[in-house]
Chains A and B, each alone.
Chain A
Amino acid sequence: MSAIKLTIDGRPVEVEPGTTILEAARKLGIDIPTFCHDPELAPNGACRICVVEVERARALVASCCAPVAPDMVVHTESERVVKARKAILRLILANHPLDCITCEKTGQCKLQDYCYRYGISESDFEGEVKELPLDDTNPFYIRDMNKCILCGRCVGRCQEINGAGAIDFIGRGFSTIVGPAFGDPIEESSCVFCGMCVDVCPVGALIPKAGVGKGRPWEVEKVKTICPYCGTGCSIYLHVKDGRIIGASPDFEGPVNRGHLCSKGRFGWDFVHSEERLTRPLIKKDGVFVEASWDEALDLVAEKVRDLLNRYGPDSLMGLSSAKTSNEDNYLFQKLMRSLGTNNVDHCARL
């Protein structure tokens, strides 16, 4: 099928048929706001913040759902569009808690960003603020449904990608929330704590517990690592502040995981800072471990290894390498054993 030509904000663009207006605009580097849009989920058109004006169309259209058409002329920031977006933001703000000063999401909250962009500081609507209790009985993340804007991305990720189906829209109208059936705490649901909902929530409704009060997004350095658990090889950013890991997030461009994770990769990194980490070499003397310097410890190992080599030959040694350490570590480990004259080297791959 031939490409479709259209004009967005006065600029021509050519895209494949079936492309949405939102995607076409992004191709031009035009930033249309979105809350509910998720590139991996079927569009649900819930929030309408992405509306644009299409010439000759009567109503504004949601750009994340609407496909392009030949010779379409689109305006993404026209007066009508801006007015509609402001109204949506005011409506949301009318019943949104305004505790941005202490909210963990500050700095990466879409609601904040768009209010700033469109100059909304307060709402003219006399809204009712919800007063729902926090769901924080699980050790992984806090659910604050007072801040939820009902975009549905968490529900989509949980049902369509994870398959756990732990949460859904419940209730109606103003009292609608997302959560487990019967308003149970998430810990009692089928949630497997993959955190994929947390990573796409545009506002501060889903907050990982580990990082609370530990640092602001702009103070954090994100370092790309590979998950140390299963053999899938998900790529994960560790969030570091002052030499400590305070959080993690999936690599949305990860060649394997595309932004997806499971509970171990998403929340299981804190063993790195465990109090139980070994920090000094230890030598066993009379049955108890005594701290030693590296020189003492390595000299002793070398002496013992040489002694065994002399007395029994190289095949009296066995080396167990590791399915957890890097390729470089494994390469050197087998090189060491083999250089000592034995092929007695293995690891626990079978287990």
Chain B
Amino acid sequence: MTNSIGEIPGAGAILIIGSNTSETHPVISYRVREAVQNGAALIVADPRVTEMAKLADYHLRLRPGTDVALLNGLMHIIIAEDLLDVDFIEKRTEGFEKLKEKVAEYTPERVSEITGVAVSDLRAAARAYAAAESAAILYTMGITQHTTGTDNVLSVANLAMLTGNMGKPSAGVNPLRGQNNVQGACDMGALPNVYTGYQKVGDPQVQEKFSKAWGVPLSDKPGLTVTKSMDAIFDGRIKGMLIMGENPILSEANANHAGEALERLEFLVVQDIFMTETAAYADVVLPAASYAEQLGSYTNTERRVQLSCPAVPPPGEARADWEILTDLAKRLGLDWSYSGSEAIFNEMASLTPSYAGMSYSRLADEKSLQWPCPDSKHPGTPYLHVGKFSRGLGQFTPVDYKPPAELPDGEYPFVLSTGRHIFHYHTGTMTRRSVPLEQHRPEEFVEIHPEDAAKLGLAEGDPAQISSRRGEVVARVTLTERVKPGHVFMTFHYHEAAANLLTNDALCPVAATPEFKVCAVNVRKAG
């Protein structure tokens, strides 16, 4: 997030696009509600009638996968009606003319055609967003999980810059990260092209710094992304895999493909807290301590680093991941020794400018710190891009709407979107082993519009077979007007009805994110 969660209640307008906030980030949805109580205009762009959509002043019920067209349409109106922040555009950005040309093509009428949102709603939403003193955009996977995911993110940034909503409180572009430490994993360099703090592996100075600090030679060639690595197993480039606490079998699009890939590996080691669907494929499984059993730091979606303390001992012989990794590194001839997680944090901070001013004692005394925090006197940074962007001028990047890779047809007439509900989390590794959560929501219910259900002879709770070009699952349906006719929705929490057997592993070409939000399926009564 460019801005902080605590600033949301101060926003004059909030645009939520592709985020079912009240289910995926409930506590953030409380802040949105607070903003609305304070008088903020709320605009929600979502194909489904989510709780946030019900709260919204303007619900833009767009067709799945038409986000870029919608955002271009909003910008078209803002420019046409002269609601832009000229001063900000002149002083802080470049490429405006190109953007203007591009969005000129997206007249409200054309956008309405593509998205299914009424022209009057487009206009009202654009005006409400542009009129606010500070307006915040919140988005989640609904934006990134498309073949056009990177375009979507660029579009969101275009809109924020056009209205000068960067570098000030209660504004900005705010991706709500899905997992507790996604932000931290990225910050720590668990990415194929960067070390900690997004320092590029291809930069010779960076390479030399890390090489010297770690006492080993390092490669300057960017590595493979998780999704690409699955293909690389098939063509024989990847032979062995180490997996720590992830369950790609359930979380990767086209799960069948991921399973076959893991089977082909010469060697797979998984360290995790449970025998996950992925661990079952491993040659060696190492028992890890859970979050409640070790001291460590986590970085939330607003770049806030916090310490989590050990509450109970790990079960049996389970050990903290860092201890396992240290022991393995020693066996592989690396000269590693750490007295504890604090020593690791200190080494990391010494190599990472954005974390350089942080230490366990500061995190304990000050409760939390938001990066960048470059030195030990720095209070941390609640919002980014004040006065200038990290690259200097903010770049407008015109983007065109492209339809999703797979659209419904005669054989597969429905659009399937996947997501989450509030009681389970991700692939359910943890929540489905929580007694109250599992008791409360033990099975998948596919959301389908009552009209569609009637045509298919489906009643509430009936089992249905959902099939795509990649696989099929059986799950019960719930009849609801949350989805439009022609649209069905499933979560990916349940391995017995794994939605990712159906989803399309077509990738966004830049970010390599699978298109989870749109694929074509057929639905019929089962059994």
Contact = CB atoms under 8 A, between A and B. Distances in A.
Interface in B200-258: 201, 210, 214, 216-219, 221-227, 229, 232, 237-246, 248, 251-252
B327 A294 contact: yes
Given A262-B26, A344-B223, A324 B144 contact: no
Interface string A263-302: 1100111111110111111111000010000100111111
Interface of A: 138-140, 160-163, 187, 192-194, 209-210, 223-235, 238, 240, 243-245, 253, 255-257, 260-264, 267-274, 276-284, 289, 294, 297-302, 304-306, 308, 311-312, 314-351
B423 interface: yes
Contacts of A344: 192, 223-224, 229, 238
B290 interface: yes
Interface in B319-370: 319-322, 324-329, 331-332, 334, 338, 341, 344-345, 347-348, 367-368
A238 B291 CA distance: 11
Interface in B476-517: 511-514, 516
A342 B223 contact: yes
B373 to A, nearest CB: 13
Contacts of A335: 214, 329
B436 A139 contact: yes
Contacts of A245: 292, 311-312
Contact of A320 (B237, B241, B433): B241
B192 A327 contact: no
A329 B322 contact: yes
A343 B296 contact: no
Interface stretch (B278-286, B399-407, B409-417): B278-286
Majority DSSP secondary structure for residues of B touching A: mixed
Contacts of B433: 270-271, 274, 276
A334 B192 CA distance: 9
Interface string B378-408: 0000000000000000000000000000000
A223 B287 contact: no
Nearest to B33: A163
Contacts of A162: 26, 30
A325 B341 CA distance: 12
B234 to A, nearest CB: 13
A214 to B, nearest CB: 14
8 contacts: A209-B436, A224-B307, A262-B26, A269-B434, A281-B284, A326-B181, A337-B242, A351-B514
Contacts of B348: 327-328, 331
- Majority SS of interface residues in chain A? mixed
A263 to B, nearest CB: 6
Which residue of B187, B225, B226, B368 has the most chain A CB atoms within 10 A of its CB atom? B226
B422 interface: yes
Contacts of B55: 163
Given A255-B304, A308-B267, A327-B296, A231 B224 contact: no
B38 interface: no
A223 B433 CA distance: 22
Contact of B291 (A225, A240, A333): A225
Contacts of A345: 189-192, 223
B301 interface: yes
Given A260-B30, A336-B329, A233 B306 contact: yes
B106 interface: no
A120 B321 CA distance: 55
A264 to B, nearest CB: 6
A230 B331 contact: no
B39 interface: no
Contact of B430 (A194, A229, A298, A332): A229
Contacts of B275: 276, 278
